[in-house]
Structure 1
Amino acid sequence: MKAIISNRIYMDNPGNAATKFISNQLTYKIPKNTGSKKFNTIETIRNYRLFNGGMISIPQGRTDLIPEDYEIIDKRVYNSVPFPKPKYELRTEQIDVYNQANDTCFINALVGWGKTFTALHIAHKWGQKTLVITHTTALRDQWCEEVKVLFGMDPGIIGSGFYEIDDHFIVIGNIQSIVKYLDKINKEFGTIILDEAHHCPATTFSQTIDTFHSRYRLALSGTMIRKDGKHVVFKDYFGDKVYRPPQSNTINPTVHLVKSKLVLNPTVSWVDKINELTQNEYYRKYISELAKFHIIAGHSVLIIADRVEFLEKVKEYVGETCLLVTGDTPTEERHSAKEQLLSKTKMCVAGSRQIFSEGISINILSCVILAVPMSNDSLLEQIIGRIMRPYPGKLNPIVVDIQFSGWLDKKQNNDRLGLYLKKGWDILTV
């Protein structure tokens, strides 16, 4: 009996009992939050496939489910290529992970630890032609910059009109473009790196990863917890090796709990609550004044929200020193915004939550104003991580947490407070 490992693991019929065991291990029943206490729905994920004759296929990461008496035939792709010598060395805490990462694995490290830098060193160690998959063009461009800094050479690019896979030891692509070329590239790379890998349970990401025959997979993320519960499938795609290095190379913030006396409308849906809040002219000016206060104190300020119209008005009220960066901001303008902030010709950026939770790192930022309440700890931690990176001359970072005063709002206030206390951050009520 044989098990062939390629893009997935394909096994001869293991018999009824083993098939039942394997299918049970790869079946996930995940409760879905319907907003109703009376009616709950269950989403079922089955990460196995049955074929005529009893053959079964399972995700590549689940070698633990191959019966012990099976002959394993490894048909995964090796594509060895020469790498330039890295120009910069790893820090001590990164070397520990680097030394252990000898096969497919997941690096779960917080913002500021240096996941990108370490992953590139690991790719160099493995010596395989490497594809880095990102979920935004902003992240793709950031990876391109890191490759050039570390290796002194430009990577190939897939996306934005480019399809550059020949004569490149590393190729960086955004998922939306990569899916167009899967039939051409699924056997091209010996290593796949998936950035922000907590997106993997989404259908597009999981199907894409499942297509590649690469010998090595490396997953990177600041969180292994998804609010929808689908993080249970990570092991299927990346195996059971998870490295969780302690936080390092960051500066703990001080949290300012700002009592606003504002109440979110308790009679409407969450979406409508946020719409009402962000359309409130008083609140827009309130946030703008908070930003001005911290700018005068010398901070480079990040204002975070997920409504573009709100961000546009806040930028207008803060004035010339404020920039706007959203998902619609062209790449060139994002680069320009970063340079203006680093040079201190601008002192503030009004940015969309999606972009700054995962897309853009500007290390000089030292103050974040959470203009819209968040209930997701992982997302909140990623946002705050943007101001925790060290930078020459940077002020100690500050988190401005707006405390709303309604009886329903207090639970969210307390949930966020719980995270801050868990992290051991200093907290002031202002």
Structure 2
Amino acid sequence: MINLRDYQTKIVADCRQAFREGDRKVVVQLATGGGKTVLGSFMVHGAAQQRALTCWWLVHRRELISQASKTFYDMGIPHGIIAGGHASDPLARVQVGSIQTIARRLDKMPPPDMIVFDETHHIGAAQWSEIFARFPQAYVLGLTATPWRLDGRGLGQWYARMVQGPTVAELIERGSLSPYRLFAPSAPDMRAVQTQAGDYKQRALAEIMDKPSITGDAVQHYRQLCPGKRAVAFAVSIEHSRHIAAEFNAAGIRAEHVDGTMDIAARDAAVARFVAGDTLILSNAELFGEGFDVPAIEAAILLRPTKSLSLYLQQVGRALRPAPGKAQAVILDHAGNSLTHGLPDDEREWTLDDREKQRRAAESAAPVRQCAKCFRVYRPAPKCPGCGFAAPVAVREIEKRDGELVEVDASAVKEHRKAEERACKSLADWQRLGAARGYKPGWALKQFQIREQYRSRRKAA
């Protein structure tokens, strides 16, 4: 039996309270590495054992099936698996199922009393929505680190309530996630790359990123910043991923490429060699953004630019799980994603509401600067936290320096946010700041009223 952390216990209690109050569709937002699978399994166990409910745990990747099944075994939860290549146990009250397989067998299966959708930010996909709509009376629990869709639709179309766990910063502070150092180059020029389904078109993206002059020398920076550490590299395409692995191998650093088209046994063997430390670099394309939980990963190498905040946070989250002997994670951002989406532990406001176009545009605003003197990358602040250089009021654009990684220092985040807020004098100032941060309009009014009340009290005194 696995004991829950205190915040997991609270999330479980809040979800059960929502169910008791009549909200049958509840989504849990908890950062990658925060333990969504464990707390969800705990709820499934209680529903199946204490209330004799039929429960489905649904996922969209084979790796997620293995992850959920292992957790169930660890917790002593009897279960069947409904997915290609697995022998099913139709009598088990709990079933771990592939979305694709379940969708094909809906007419042949008894209806569930409770459904858990893992990585539920994919809920808008056709098969997901079909399953969701088929059982309106079922209790539904959605699990995700990032309840946002690229098309701007909120999950409120499917869920009545959201229960939130601690932020990434809070999880790092309490030791549930690893501290990190983030290094980033100037962003690659993406102006010529068109978008499709809300993200960059893969072919055009590969043409730009599969070049050392644009991505920087990943091998060099790995040697410089985290030599000997196990790292997962995120590539644009299968060919790009193979090139990354080949470059590391040519430099004498053991590396392998894996992708979803490989033989399952061969892919599992490659992952096993990585876990054992026989392979140091595991390069992949669109495979390990979700459901690859190896706490010993000490570095993430980002070589795939994305407009998706969710994908970015999923990728860096692979390296943030704590492990014995792991003092900190290292993130090597050759794709400029941190310049677009910010730091992994930035304060973010999650909501079930749809996002307006202007808010989605604000999410793409570069939130970091590069010092004109020492080229340190940091949050906008009066002075560079590295060398103390005070930038002029008209801050120049980030100078492009191909292949040079500089560290993103998170220590300036709080200082910058406070400085921004001290500069707000009117409601319009607060509204502009709130829009830039992607907050709901109500945040600006609340902050303005708090400051006005404070000023009134000081004037009266």
Give me the TM-score of the superposition, normalised by structure 1.
0.69
Do residues 299 (structure 1) and 229 (structure 2) align? yes
Aligned to 1:383: 315
Aligned to 1:276: 207
Do residues 140 (structure 1) and 71 (structure 2) align? no
Write out per-residue CA displacement over residues 178-208 of structure 1, whole angstroms, 9 at most, x where no aligned residue. Answer: 11100112x4322111111111112221111
Amino acid corresponding to residue 221 of structure 2 in structure 1: L
Would the aligned equivalents of 2:215 and 2:303 in 1 still touch at CA under 8 Å? no
Aligned to 1:325: 258
Do residues 253 (structure 1) and 180 (structure 2) align? yes
Distance 1:174 1:148, change over 3 A: same
Write out per-residue CA displacement over residues 361-396 of structure 1, whole angstroms, 9 at most, x where no aligned residue. Answer: 111111111112222222211111111111111241
Q: Structure 1: any 5+ residue segments left out of the alignment?
A: 1-86, 405-411
- Distance in 2 between residues matched to 1:152 and 1:134, nearest whole Å: 17
Would the aligned equivalents of 2:235 and 2:302 in 1 still touch at CA under 8 Å? yes
Aligned to 1:235: 156
Aligned to 2:245: 315
Write out per-residue CA displacement over residues 321-370 of structure 1, whole angstroms, 9 at most, x where no aligned residue. Answer: 21222222344344333332232122111022x32221311111111111
Would the aligned equivalents of 2:181 and 2:329 in 1 still touch at CA under 8 Å? yes
SS at match of 1:400: strand
Aligned to 2:93: 169
- Distance in 2 between residues matched to 1:161 and 1:307, nearest whole Å: 26
Q: Structure 2: any 5+ residue segments left out of the alignment?
A: 195-199, 349-366, 369-376, 379-385, 387-405, 408-461
Distance 1:129 1:331, change over 3 A: farther
Give runs of aligned pairs for residues 15-414 of structure 1, distance below 5 A. Answer: 87-102=1-16, 103=19, 104=24, 105-127=26-48, 128-151=53-76, 153=78, 155-162=79-86, 164-185=88-109, 187-212=110-135, 215-231=138-154, 234-240=155-161, 242-247=162-167, 248=171, 249-259=176-186, 264=189, 266-267=191-192, 269=194, 270-271=200-201, 273-280=204-211, 286-294=217-225, 296=227, 298-319=228-249, 321-352=254-285, 354-402=286-334, 414=339
- Distance in 2 between residues matched to 1:226 and 1:265, nearest whole Å: 21
Give me the TM-score of the superposition, normalised by structure 2.
0.65
- Distance in 2 between residues matched to 1:358 and 1:332, nearest whole Å: 19
Distance 1:403 1:122, change over 3 A: closer
Would the aligned equivalents of 1:366 and 1:395 in 2 still touch at CA under 8 Å? no
Distance 1:417 1:111, change over 3 A: closer
SS at match of 1:230: coil
Amino acid corresponding to residue 123 of structure 2 in structure 1: C
Give, in angstroms, the shift of residue 91 of structure 1: 1.1
Richer in strand (by share)? 1
- Distance in 2 between residues matched to 1:268 and 1:325, nearest whole Å: 26
Give, in angstroms, the shift of residue 305 of structure 1: 1.4
- Distance in 1 between residues matched to 2:222 and 2:242, nearest whole Å: 14
SS at match of 2:333: strand
Write out per-residue CA displacement over residues 241-295 of structure 1, whole angstroms, 9 at most, x where no aligned residue. Answer: x2101032112321112358xx537445453542222443656782233334445
Amino acid corresponding to residue 415 of structure 1 in structure 2: T
Give, in angstroms, the shift of residue 222 of structure 1: 0.8
Aligned to 1:5: none
Write out per-residue CA displacement over residues 202-248 of structure 1, whole angstroms, 9 at most, x where no aligned residue. Answer: 222111111136532111111111120122xx3343322x2101032
- Distance in 1 between residues matched to 2:41 and 2:213, nearest whole Å: 47
Give runs of aligned pairs for residues 408-427 of structure 1, distance below 5 A. Answer: 414-417=339-342, 422=347
- Distance in 2 between residues matched to 1:213 and 1:100, nearest whole Å: 21
Distance 1:214 1:292, change over 3 A: farther
- Distance in 1 between residues matched to 2:242 and 2:100, nearest whole Å: 27
Amino acid corresponding to residue 373 of structure 1 in structure 2: P
- Distance in 2 between residues matched to 1:392 and 1:418, nearest whole Å: 24
SS at match of 1:355: coil
- Between stretches 159-168 and 169-178, larger displacement belongs to 159-168
SS at match of 1:151: coil
Would the aligned equivalents of 1:112 and 1:385 in 2 still touch at CA under 8 Å? yes
Amino acid corresponding to residue 229 of structure 1 in structure 2: G
Aligned to 1:57: none
SS at match of 2:43: helix
Q: Percent identity?
A: 20
SS at match of 1:238: coil
- Distance in 2 between residues matched to 1:403 and 1:196, nearest whole Å: 24
Aligned to 1:39: none
Distance 1:399 1:149, change over 3 A: same
- Distance in 2 between residues matched to 1:422 and 1:237, nearest whole Å: 25
Give, in angstroms, the shift of residue 420 of structure 1: 6.2
